[in-house]
Structure 1
Amino acid sequence: MPAPSDILSDPDISQAYEDVRSDKSDTTWLILKYASATSDSLTLAAKGTGDIAEMTESLGDEAAYAYVRMKLGNDEYSERVKFAFVIWQGPNTKVMRKAKMSFQSGQVKQVIRTYAVEIQTSDKKELEEEAVTLKLRKAMGANYDRQGSSY
């Protein structure tokens, strides 16, 4: 098996990760894709400054990894920045690639280290802003939204 440094040798990957993490950068998401159908090497396929919907549109139909910065909070004073790591298995992801991804995602996590939730999915509905926000809120613990409560 290749070492993490081999599959993630693209220097743009580390820079994009730092940009998504940085409060000083406008970059809010990145997508890593395999260099080719037979390659295990990942490349920075896309990055952007929009919301998770923009990122989701850029995922495509093949296997990919994504990282997104999201702001949560009820008002400007309680706003928190949280990160989600996405393991995307689009509808055209081959069976062998899916099997390899379970191992390779561990290598990707050696570069993309900091996130509140990990979402492994092949369904774009699971990447809608409301669904991801709910997962992030659960990961944070206390949820002060009164929606769905008996109060």
Structure 2
Amino acid sequence: MSGADAPEILAAYDAVRSDKNETNWLLISYASGMGDKLKLTGTGTGGLSELAERFDPGEAQYGYVRVEYANDTESKRVKFVLVIWIGENTKVMRKARVGFESANVKKVLAHHSIQVDARDRSDLEEKEIVARLRKAGGADYNGGRG
């Protein structure tokens, strides 16, 4: 495997999924311009907006984030989102390999409600992501309003 199952990535994944840990996102990047070796390049507690700022327009990267939102005044939902980022300035050969290499990442970051393929930070607007999560989750207690 490409290193997606490295101990530090697995530990970060467990932290994001844990209700007892404040970490709510992780970022995986390629270790070098060549090859498929992956490494953990960040974690944080600032949610989707903080993760979005960490994506590099010249790189292909993978993000995993916990998103919490209210269904109604009585309940809160927690969902997980896998982000496959291919920045607009990513080299052609790297772009071509992401489809294949992302399969290894998906095996490790297996529990997610939706996958977001992002090319630009505007693809990661929280309001749009929550709307997609509501649709994926089935019940919509806000009559379709995000």
Partner of 2:140: 143
Root-mean-square deviation (CA, aligned residues, Å) is: 1.5
Unmatched tracts of structure 1, length 5 or more: none
SS of aligned partner of 1:134: helix
- Partner amino acid, structure 2, of 1:119: V
Q: Distance in 2 between matches of 1:77 and 1:24?
A: 21
Question: What is the TM-score of this pair, normalised by structure 2?
Answer: 0.92
Distance in 2 between residues matched to 1:106 and 1:130, nearest whole Å = 27
1:77 aligned to 2:66?
A: no
In structure 2, the CA distance between the partners of 1:52 and 1:37, relative to structure 1 (3 Å rule), is: same
Paired amino acid for 2:61: A
Could you tell me which of 7, 10, 19 is aligned with 1:14?
A: 10
Taking the aligned partners of 2:33 and 2:135, their CA distance within structure 1 comes to 36
1:94 paired residue among 70, 91, 104: 91
What does residue 49 of structure 2 align with?
53
Cα 1:76–1:21 shift into 2, 3 Å: farther
- How far has the Cα of 1:77 moved from its partner? 2.9
In the TM superposition, residue 76 of structure 1 has moved relative to its aligned partner by 5.7
Greater CA drift, 75-84 or 120-129: 75-84
Counterpart Cα distance in 1 of 2:144 and 2:18: 32
Q: Which residue of 1 aligns with 2:104?
A: 107
Find the aligned partners of 2:144 and 2:84 in 1 and give their Cα distance.
29
Matched to 1:21, the amino acid is R
Deviations 1:33-56 (A, max 9, x none): 000110311100111001211000
Q: 1:33 to 1:144 in 2, by over 3 A?
A: same
Gaps of 5+ in 2: none
Which structure has greater strand proportion?
Answer: 2
**TM-score, normalization by structure 1:** 0.89
Amino acid at match of 1:12: E
* Higher deviation after alignment, 118-127 or 23-32: 118-127
